[in-house]
Amino acid sequence: MPQMSMIEAIRDAMDVKMAEDPNVLTFGEDVGYFGGVFRCTAGLQEKHGLHRCFDTPISEGGIIGIAIGMAANGLRPVAEIQFADYIYPAYDQIASEAARLRYRSNGDFSAPITIRTPVGGGIFGGPTHSQSPESLFTHIAGLKTIIPSNPYDAKGLLISAIESDDPVLFLEPKRLYNGPFDGDHETPSVSWKGHELGEVPSGRYTVELGKARTVSEGSDITIIAYGTMVWVAEAVAQNLGISADIIDLRSLVPLDIDAIEASVKKTGRCVILHEATRTSGFGAELMSLVQERCFYHLEAPIQRVTGWDTPYPHAQEWAYFPGQKRVTAAVRTALEAA
């Protein structure tokens, strides 16, 4: 089976869809000839043609605006926003237009677009190349928000996103592009080469939107994570030698609430992780849901581990990042509660 990095897996998903469906095209800043600043579209222009993989002006609102018009006209555009930090000029087009077009026209028009954008820190990107704005989008009815944690899922989820009749925001944890990352920045980087989840089948396959992945099964505690934090969770559980249910959500909307509920009812303890800022983060939603559905099964207060309510700092990156130390403390608190 081919070995791929997450970049290669994402590229392969687009390549597969572009080869089988002439309505699929991709565009964004530096996406065309150059192949994207993270190389996710490298070679697609040469293979599929200038009009199917092309550069756009530096204009996020414009990129999403044309994507909506194209999608309403029957195409399946995959628009790249170079960094999620740059997505805000397009917020009106995403939240008020793409997400609501089907509703406001009662199904007369729809905008099945896919928006790919790198999220998260760990690359010394500072305040403008590290953000995780997922909760600004999970709050928007009509939109789906997806975040893979490995190459296999990335390809299968991206193909599902492109095939979805709903608009999908596809968040790519940039620290995971080239290898898994357990949150310990002092150990050397590892690549996806040789990793089980770097084995990516060629051709078309899908991973269903809205189905979580069970990373590990255990009985002591449930750790809910997505994106980069999945790997931090796994490292912490291993280091502590605990028996943990680790759930990689993969999709925030639609959410696999059944998987969460079943796990927390089994373990009675729950820790929720995300890299984004704390207040009104997606963790708040997850805590509410667990409380609503599992209250009488809980044996400890739900813990939440997040980034701080600050902009993502540059030099203080690892003080901001919710790494193994912060996660370990929360897991211990949850386990030690009476």
Catalytic residues: 129
Do residues 114 and 170 make contact, with C-beta atoms less than 8 angstroms apart?
yes
* Packing angle, helices 324-336 and 229-240, rounded to 10: 60
Sheet holding 53-55, edge to edge: 53-55, 24-28, 76-80, 114-119, 168-173, 144-146, 251-253
Could you say whether residue 70 binds another protein (CB under 8 A)?
yes
Q: Which stretch binds another protein (CB under 8 A): 85-93, 120-128, 214-222, 305-313?
A: 85-93
User: Torsions phi, psi of 277, nearest 5?
Assistant: -55, 160
Kindly tell me which of 142 and 180 has the beta carbon lying closer to another protein: 142
Q: Tell me if 101 contacts another protein by CB under 8 A.
A: yes
76: contact with another protein by CB under 8 A: no
70 vs 244, beta carbon nearer another protein: 70
Indicate the pairing of strand 144-146 with strand 213-216.
Answer: unpaired
In angstroms, what is the minimal distance from the CB of 99 to another protein? 9
Among the candidate windows 51-59, 180-188, 196-204, 218-226, which touches another protein by CB under 8 A?
Answer: 51-59
SS3 of residue 278 by DSSP: coil
Nearer to another protein, 147 or 197 (CB): 147
List the one residue from 253, 286, 331, 334 that touches another protein (CB under 8 A): 253
Among 89, 218, 311, 313, which residue interacts with another protein (rule: CB under 8 A)?
A: 89
Give dist(CA 178, CA 181) in Å, integer: 9
Take residue 320 and report the two structure tokens written for it: 């901001």
User: Which of 19, 20, 43, 59 contacts another protein by CB under 8 A?
Assistant: 59
Q: How far apart are CA 159 and CA 15, in angstroms?
A: 10
Question: Which tokens sit at 47?
Answer: 């293979």
Rounded alpha-carbon distances, angstroms, from residue 60 to 40, 84, 125: 18, 10, 19
Structure tokens at 58: 């530096």
Stretch in the footprint of another protein (CB under 8 A) among 87-95, 123-131, 192-200, 227-235: 87-95
Q: Do the beta carbons of residue 163 and residue 157 sit within 8 Å?
A: no
- Kindly state whether residue 241 participates in binding another protein, applying the rule CB under 8 A: no
Residue 231 CB, shortest distance to another protein, in Å, is 26
The nearer residue to another protein, 65 or 268, going by C-beta atoms, is 65
Q: How far is the CB of 50 from another protein (least distance, A)?
A: 11
Helix (H) or strand (E) holding 78: strand 76-80
Q: Which two tokens stand for residue 324?
A: 């193994």
Task: Rule CB under 8 A: say whether 313 interacts with another protein.
Answer: no
Q: Could you tell me the two tokens for 79? A: 């628009």
Q: What is the DSSP string of 239-275?
A: HHT--EEEEE-SEEETT-HHHHHHHHHHHS-EEEEEE
Binding of another protein by 105 (CB under 8 A): yes
Asked if 103 interacts with another protein (CB under 8 A), we say: yes
- Return the residues of window 11-30 that contact another protein according to CB under 8 A: 25
Instruction: State which residue, 285 or 317, has the beta carbon closest to another protein.
Output: 285
In the range 127-166, which residues lie near another protein by CB under 8 A?
A: 141-142, 144, 164-166
Write down the least CB distance from residue 115 to another protein, Å. Answer: 14
Minimal CA–CA distance to 251: which of 261, 263, 259? 259
For residues 87 and 283, what is the distance between their CA atoms, to the nearest angstrom?
A: 21
> Measured from the CB atom, is 74 or 241 closer to another protein?
74
Smallest distance from another protein to CB 204, Å:
19
Would you tell me which residues interact with another protein (CB under 8 A)?
A: 25, 51, 56-57, 59, 61-62, 65-75, 77, 89, 92-93, 96-97, 101-110, 112, 141-142, 144, 164-166, 210, 253-255, 257-258
